[in-house]
Amino acid sequence: MNTPSENVGPAARSFRLGDFLRDQLRNIAPFITLLFLVVFFSLASPAFATLDNLENILQQVSVTAIIAVGLTFVILTAEIDLSVAAVANATAIVLTFFTLQPDYVNIANLPMAGPIAIVLTLIACCGLGLVTAFGVTRIGIPSFIMTLAMMQIGAGISAVLVRGQIAYSVPSLVLTLGSKSIGGIPWIVIVAALFLLVAHLVLTYTRFGRYVYMVGGNREAAEYSGVNVRLIVGAVMVISAMCSGVAGMLGVAYFGSAQQNEFDTFLLDAIAAVVVGGTSLFGGRGGIGNTIVGLFVLGVLNNGLDYVKIDSFLKILIRGIILLIALIVNIYAERLRTARTAGRGG
Amino acid sequence: MAPALLELTGISKSFGGVQALRDVDFTLLAGEIHGLAGENGAGKSTLMKIIAGAHGADEGQMRVDGKEVRFRSSRDALAVGIGMVHQELSVAPDLSVAENVFLGAQPVNRFGIVAWREMARAAAEQLKNLGLDIDPRARLGDFPIGVQQLVELSRVLFSGARIIILDEPTSALSPPEIERLFGVLAKLKASGRSLVFISHFLDDILKISDEITIFRNGRKVATTPVTPAIDKAWIIERMIGAGREELEESYLGQIRLDSRPDAPVVLETKGLTLAPAYREVSFEARAGEVLGIYGFMGCGQLELARTLFGRLHADRGSLEIAGKTATLANTAAAKRAGIAYVAESRRAMLFAEEPVFKNVSIAILERLSRWFVKPDRERAIAREQAGSLDIRPPGVETRLGGLSGGNQQKVALAKWLALAPRILLLAEPTRGMDVGAKEDVVRIVRALRDQGIAIVVFSTEPETVLSLADRVLVMRKGEIAHEFAGEAISKDRLLAAA
């Protein structure tokens, strides 16, 4: 058996530093991107780097953040959920369906007491998650396709319930959490922070969290270790739907209304936040810390572009390019890692 | 004497420091069937892949019709009329039978469009020669493996190649199918083609070959015409080595199997069947006993192992654990039933990117706590296991991918030892290990057996089974063909039974 020889020369040390940097590329690159963007926009506009604007940014990314929490679980297991925005939208509209709407809103309505409406809505969105989980784990439909179907189903539920109209009322609890502040801090920011915190604790300190990483790291090995892989994958799909649902409910209060296609841009934003943050699309690497950095990169970019008097149509293109670069870094980081494993293993 | 069609001299080949072939000469005459025998890794497949252009030789010369040739790819080999059917089935199950017969060489009409009718007709005709009367338009994947293998064979047999190499062509065929294949081979031989026939099934080789070459450890040890004096025992003796002193005593001498018929039965299967991999498998494994299940590659023993761990699900038959009927819905259920499984590939067992301690603790997280992970306990347990198995380097924070192969294998074992299973399934536990690591595995397995664990070893390597097992079952084409218990056994007897 060949044991690795212990080199202590300077060459060996620099090799290890290179190893470390390569290992951490997925964590370092997003952080540098964020720093660069902050410095750039601060220099470009004196109004950018203010406390008020920081609050703006936080508020603007909160809905995305809650969706991205669920998506982080999904991507860590090397699956994908394309239905997050549609599920958020459907959940939002189901909530207004169970809430008494003003007379001038002419849509299907089945008013309930606030807490009951909230519980029923959560059950509905959990149901959507269970359908996805069943399709992916029991029937064996690839999550990419299954959630594409679920995206259409969510959009369909939204369309059927509002029929082109706009709903306004939500239960008072949701209204508070989505649009009110406490001590100058918006509740929605607090909720988003709580989601991120709890998700981080779950992923880092619980058995379930460990299984999520292990399933993503090597699904076959997880299965051969007696881990119930289907259960884990199914659970992350339900978690993702629930996070999307909460984001949708709070989003209605935040935007002040619920209508069709309201959340469409959040699909790309949420995926971008997770991937730009450096969580591996191949699963097993990354986490909530990465997602937070990704959210800030996205938030700063969206917000900052408003300060630098740029053609608003160009903004879309710039976001696209940033996402592409993040994807390239993501894949490149993965390749460096596997190359190293192949070189040493066996 | 017929002229030499193909002549190789002084061929050597190594793969990453492992010498696969050493200075091998090989001659193939026109119109002969040449059988190749040897153990796994003896070099026969490597030599044939060199002839077929799949590998390049490090040293040596190759002549076809007396002219020196050097192939860079299998395409080059095909151009001079050398075709090979590889051991692994390489058909396209979703294409039709006819498309598979003509894969890569579909007949076209003058507009360059595939001539479907012509193709179907020709395919049906060729397959009829092999005794296959099937609809050439049907999807190939819907047919049994034996038929698929015949279709793949027909692709090369009727390609017009002058030299045809068949690597384990009979492993999935039934006796009547083998008869028909041999009939076709005889016809091809009569038409002046030359064939090379590689097989583990020595009866098949003896039946069809004119000439036999035997390999051992990358060297050619004998070439002889098949005469009545040449029998299975003669070949096995040369495959294992006549110079017996170079082998370890236990492998060839008569090692006594030490069965324990009084120990309680922990695992019992009755009529377990999973088509097409294995049929009617019934056996029992006892506490404190190592049961070896030996057979050639593809005989169904790995599928059997996966079924016992809940990864595959049998079509029929029952499974009892400690006297109670068990249905293993998935691997998690198997683990709960006290079954541990070390898979045949480390890739399928381990998380290369994670530290050693997480690799060890993955199977026992449920024992440690209900909700939270306990990294300190995990590390302590991992350290204990790493110490008892002498894993190097001993640090449990090391990334698993940085360990040597043998040490990775020990980590795969360590993860299950921490669980203290009732039944331990080991698939190819010593594959690709050096001698030292193999000895470690033997020592560990014996220690576990003495603790009363029922151990089942699945292997295609006779040495592994002989050095570990107290009782041996031999599997042959999906069925249990023989049991060795409470008697003396040797490698030649084991090989003869498979």
Q: What is the DSSP string of B77-115?
A: HHHTTEEEE-SS----TTSBHHHHHTTT---B-TTS-B-
Produce one character per residue of A110-140: b if its CB has 16 or more CB atoms within 10 Å, e if not.
eebebeebbeebbebbbebbebbbebbbeee
Task: Choose the CATH number for B4-245 among 3.40.390.10, 3.40.50.300, 2.60.40.10, 3.30.950.10.
Answer: 3.40.50.300
Cα separation, B131 vs B497, whole angstroms: 29
Q: For chain B, percent helix, then strand, then coil, each to nearest 5?
A: 35, 25, 40
278-297 in chain A: CB under 8 A from chain B: 284-285
Q: Cβ of A316: how many Cβ atoms within 10 Å?
A: 12
Cα separation, A258 vs A164, whole angstroms: 10
> The whole model's pTM is what?
0.78
Q: Answer yes or no: are the C-beta atoms of A158 and A93 closer than 8 Å.
A: yes
Choosing among A77, A210, A224, A232, which should be mutated to test the B contact, i.e. which has the most B CBs within 10 A?
A224
More confident residue, A4 or B355: B355
Cα separation, B498 vs B483, whole angstroms: 11
Q: Which of A111-125, A311-325, B286-300 has the lowest mean pLDDT?
A: A311-325
pLDDT tens by residue, B363-411: 888 888 888 888 889 899 999 988 888 887 778 888 888 787 778 888 8
> Does position A241 have pLDDT exceeding 90, yes or no?
yes
Mind giving me the DSSP string for B174-243? -HHHHHHHHHHHHHHHHTT-EEEEE-S-HHHHHHH-SEEEEEETTEEEEEEE--TT--HHHHHHHHH-S-
Residue with tokens 């041996």: B472
Choosing among B379, B404, B425, which should be mutated to test the A contact, i.e. which has the most A CBs within 10 A?
B404
CB-CB under 8 Å, B354 with A217? yes
Domain with CATH 3.40.50.300 in chain B: 4-245, 251-497
Stretch B227-248: mean pLDDT: 70
pLDDT tens by residue, A98-142: 988 887 878 888 888 889 999 999 999 999 999 999 999 999 999
pLDDT tens by residue, B447-482: 888 888 999 999 888 878 888 888 899 998 888 888
Does residue A230 sit within a domain?
Answer: yes
pLDDT tens by residue, B315-345: 999 999 988 888 889 999 999 999 999 988 7
> Does position A161 have pLDDT exceeding 60, yes or no?
yes
In chain B, % of residues over pLDDT 90:
21
Fill in the DSSP letter of residue B142.
Answer: G
Cα separation, B226 vs B230, whole angstroms: 6
Stretch B79-87: mean pLDDT: 86
Q: For chain A, percent helix, then strand, then coil, each to nearest 5?
A: 75, 0, 25
**Structural domain for A285, as ranges:** 30-35+48-334
Stretch B6-12: mean pLDDT: 91
Nearest in space to B98 (alpha carbons), one of B120, B113, B129: B120
CB-CB under 8 Å, B354 with A205? no
Q: Which residues have CB under 8 Å from B257's CB, separation 6+?
A: B469, B470, B471, B472, B484, B485, B486, B487, B488, B489
* Mean of pLDDT over chain B: 84
Cα separation, A322 vs A324, whole angstroms: 5
Q: Answer yes or no: are the C-beta atoms of B52 and B46 closer than 8 Å.
A: no
Q: What pLDDT does A341 receive?
A: 52
Does residue A68 sit within a domain?
Answer: yes
In chain B, % of residues over pLDDT 70:
94
Q: What pLDDT does A319 receive?
A: 79
CB-CB under 8 Å, A223 with B331? yes
Residues forming a β-bridge with B4? B29
Q: Answer yes or no: are the C-beta atoms of A220 and B341 closer than 8 Å.
A: no
Among A228, A340, A346, whose Cβ lies nearest the Cβ of B332?
A228
Q: What pLDDT does A4 receive?
A: 41
In chain A, % of residues over pLDDT 70:
91
Nearest in space to A272 (alpha carbons), one of A30, A40, A98, A94: A30
Q: What pLDDT does B301 receive?
A: 86
Q: What pLDDT does A178 receive?
A: 87
> Does position A92 have pLDDT exceeding 70, yes or no?
yes
> Does position A229 have pLDDT exceeding 80, yes or no?
yes
Does residue A149 sit within a domain?
Answer: yes
Fill in the DSSP letter of residue B496.
Answer: H
The CATH code of the domain that includes A320 is: 1.10.3470
Measure the N-to-C terminal CA separation of chain A; round to a whole number of Å.
11
Nearest in space to A292 (alpha carbons), one of A204, A212, A196: A196
Amino acid, single-letter form, for residue B293: I
Q: Band of the pLDDT at A58, cuts 50, 70, 90? A: very high
CB-CB under 8 Å, B349 with A221? yes
Does residue A23 sit within a domain?
Answer: no
pLDDT tens by residue, B138-192: 888 888 777 888 888 888 877 788 899 998 888 777 777 788 888 888 888 888 8
Chain A nearest CA to B457, separation (Å): 16
CB-CB under 8 Å, A211 with B404? no
Does residue A141 sit within a domain?
Answer: yes
Q: What pLDDT does B490 receive?
A: 77
Strand B59-64: give its sheet, edge to edge: B18-29, B4-15, B59-64, B67-68
A-chain residue closest to B347, CA distance? A221
For B325, half-sphere exposure in the C-beta direction (CA atoms, 13 angstrom radius) is 4
pLDDT tens by residue, B102-137: 887 777 778 878 888 888 888 888 888 877 788 888
Q: Domain count of chain A?
A: 1
| B292's tokens | 């070896």
Cα separation, A344 vs B91, whole angstroms: 34
Q: Cβ of B113: how many Cβ atoms within 10 Å?
A: 9
Q: Does the beta carbon of A231 lie under 8 angstroms from any beta carbon of chain B?
A: yes
Q: Answer yes or no: are the C-beta atoms of B198 and B84 closer than 8 Å.
A: no
Q: Which of A41-45, A318-322, B39-43, B244-248 has the lowest mean pLDDT?
A: B244-248
| B371's tokens | 């909700």
Task: Choose the CATH number for B251-497 among 3.40.50.720, 3.40.640.10, 3.40.50.300, 1.10.287.890.
Answer: 3.40.50.300
Q: Band of the pLDDT at A236, cuts 50, 70, 90? A: very high
Does residue A16 sit within a domain?
Answer: no
* Predicted ipTM of the assembly: 0.80
Strand B423-427: give its sheet, edge to edge: B339-342, B423-427, B454-459, B290-294, B471-476, B479-484
Which residues in chain B are closer than 8 Å to A344, comparing Cβ atoms?
401-402
Which residues in chain A are closer than 8 Å to B358, comparing Cβ atoms?
210, 214
Q: Answer yes or no: are the C-beta atoms of B79 and B29 closer than 8 Å.
A: no
B-chain residue closest to A232, CA distance? B332
Phi, psi of B321 (to 5 degrees): -120, 120
Q: Answer yes or no: are the C-beta atoms of B466 and B494 closer than 8 Å.
A: yes
Q: What pLDDT does A339 receive?
A: 64
Q: What pLDDT does A127 receive?
A: 96
CB-CB under 8 Å, A214 with B358? yes
Residue with tokens 């039944």: B423
Q: What pLDDT does B244 receive?
A: 45
Does residue A267 sit within a domain?
Answer: yes
Which residues in chain B are closer than 8 Å to A336, comparing Cβ atoms?
none
Stretch B405-427: mean pLDDT: 87
Mind giving me the DSSP string for A281-318? TTSSS--HHHHHHHHHHHHHHHHHHHHTT--HHHHHHH
> Does position A191 have pLDDT exceeding 90, yes or no?
yes
Q: Answer yes or no: are the C-beta atoms of A273 and A65 closer than 8 Å.
A: yes
Q: Band of the pLDDT at A16, cuts 50, 70, 90? A: low
In chain A, % of residues over pLDDT 90:
53
> Does position B434 have pLDDT exceeding 80, yes or no?
no
CB-CB under 8 Å, B407 with A226? no
Does residue A113 sit within a domain?
Answer: yes
